[in-house]
Amino acid sequence: MKTYYYWPIQMILSGAATKKLFERGYNIFEDKRYERLAYISVAHIYNLRKGKLYCDKRRHFTKTQRTAVAIGERRKPAPNGAPGYLRIDTVHQGDQDKVKGVYYINAVDEVTQMEVICAVEKISEQFLIPVLEQLIELFPFEIKEIHSDNGSEYINHTVAKLLNKLLIELTKSRSRQSNDNALVESKNGSIVRKWLGYCHIPQKHSTIINTFLKKYFIDYINYHRPCYYAAITTDAKTGKQRKTYPYANMMTPYEKLKSLPDAKQYLKPGVNFEELDIIAKQDTDLEAARKAKHARQKLFQTIYEDI
C-alpha cells in the first residue's frame, strides 16, 4: 500500500548532518563564520530547532498493481563494496480532478548513495526510455545493475532490451521482503518529497523541472549534502550482522566515492576526480543549498503562475 501525504516543503537535515555541514564550512571551505559552529553539539542543534510546525493535511491511498511478467531476477543486489548498483523507484506528484501529475524517476547507488532524479511526463515506454538513458549517463561511474520493485514501468521487455544493450543487469524485489528497495524509498521521502512536495504539478512542466534538477539539485545532493553510512559488525555467537550509523562515517556521496579503495577504477572513461573536484568545490555547502533553494522558488513560481 502506497501512502501519499501533503507536507510543507522543507530542507531540514538531521542534527548530525547539520553539524557536519558546519564542520565542512570551516575546515574545507575555510569560512571563518563557522569557527564556533563547527564545535556545536548535535543535542544543542535539536534544542535550537524546537517550535517547528508541520502540517499533515491530506492522505490518499492507492494499491500497487501486481505484474506477472517474467523479466528480471528476484534477488537482493550484492555490490560487495563497489558502486554501480542502483536502486530505482517512481515517485508520483499527485492527482487533481483525476488528472495525473508529473512523475519522478529516483535512482540511488547502494554503496555511495549518489543519487540522480529525473522528471518524466508519463511512465509509458515512449517517455521513460529517454529518461532512463539520461539518468544512467549522469552517474560518474559505470552502472552494473539496476534493482526495482515489481512495477510494470521497469519490468517490461523494452526496459530489459535497453539494459541488455548497455550490459546492465535488471533485478527486482523478492516476495515478502519489504526492505529490498528500502534505500531509494527512504530517499523518496527525505529528498524528493521534502524538496518538491506532494501537491499536484501538471505533466507539461516535466521539462523545466528536469532543468532545475540537472542544473542545481543533483550536484547539491551529491557533493554538498552529508549522508549516514552504516558500520556493520557481526555477532561472534549468533553470526547475525548489526548495523550502526556512527557520526564519524557521515560524509557526502562524492566523498564516499573517493574513499573507496582504488576508486578510479570505477569511473567512466573520460571522467576523472580532478574534474569532479572542481564541481565539488566551486560552491560551499551553504552556497549550493541557497542556489538550489532559490532556483526551486523560481521553478514553483513559474509552475503556479501557469496553473
pLDDT per residue over 113-147, tens digit each? Answer: 999 999 999 888 888 889 999 999 999 999 999 99
Architecture of domain 2-305: 2-Layer Sandwich (3.30)
pLDDT band at 55 (very low <50, low <70, confident <90, very high): very low
pLDDT band at 98 (very low <50, low <70, confident <90, very high): confident
What is the DSSP-derived secondary structure letter of residue 61?
A: E
Question: ∠ CA(206), CA(131), CA(185), 5° rounding?
Answer: 85
Q: pLDDT per residue over 154-206, tens digit each?
A: 888 888 888 888 888 888 887 777 777 888 999 999 999 999 999 999 999 99
What CA–CA distance (Å, rounded) separates 114 from 50? 31
Q: Which string of DSSP letters, residue by residue, matches 130-153?
A: HHHHHHHHHSSB---EEEE-S-TT
pLDDT at residue 152 in the model:
79
- Give the distance, in angstroms, between the CA of residue 199 and the centroid of all CA atoms in the same chain: 19
What CA–CA distance (Å, rounded) separates 174 from 149? 8
Which of 104, 1, 128 minimizes the C-alpha distance to 60? 1
Q: What are the extents of the domains in the chain?
A: 2-305
- Percent above pLDDT 70 for the chain: 89
Mean pLDDT value across residues 203-211: 94
Rounded mean pLDDT of the chain? 86
Compute CA distances 160 → 64, 164, 237, whole Å: 21, 6, 43
